[in-house]
């Protein structure tokens, strides 16, 4: 990604976060965090990654809610940013935070097992 798409993606992330938190009233969408935005080089399409704490069902509902509100979010985004073409928005669940937590739990478990082996009995 070049400098322009990166700058646009960063600005889009901030604006979309604000739109979702302040303007959307869909009960399926809980407290989500927009983690990153990937924009194609021609700025025609954008993938918006979000995270949400909760169960699998809650995450699926949130993804449905966000994708159904994509038109409204796109319209609001177009009003706030000057685009020749407002990109098509596709929302995806970002599970990297949960994966990171899972890895930390594994490392902690390994560390504790190692300490227990090294303790004199």
> How much is the pLDDT for 54?
79
For residue 104, is pLDDT > 70?
yes
Rounded distance, CA 120 to CA 19, Å? 58
pLDDT 10s digits, 59-71: 888 899 999 999 9
Domains detected in the chain:
3-95 (3.30.300.20)
Which pLDDT belongs to residue 121?
56
């Amino acid at each position: 990604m070049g400098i322009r798409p990166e700058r646009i993606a960063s600005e889009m992330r901030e604006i979309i976060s604000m739109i979702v938190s302040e303007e959307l009233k869909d009960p399926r969408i809980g407290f989500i965090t927009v983690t990153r935005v990937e924009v194609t080089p021609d700025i025609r399409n954008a993938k918006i990654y979000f995270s949400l704490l909760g169960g699998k069902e809650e995450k699926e509902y949130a993804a449905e809610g966000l994708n159904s509100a994509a038109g409204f979010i796109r319209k609001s985004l177009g009003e706030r940013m000057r685009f020749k073409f407002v990109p098509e928005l596709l929302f995806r669940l970002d599970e990297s935070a949960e994966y990171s937590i899972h890895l930390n739990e594994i490392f902690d478990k390994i560390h504790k097992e190692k300490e227990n082996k090294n303790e004199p009995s």
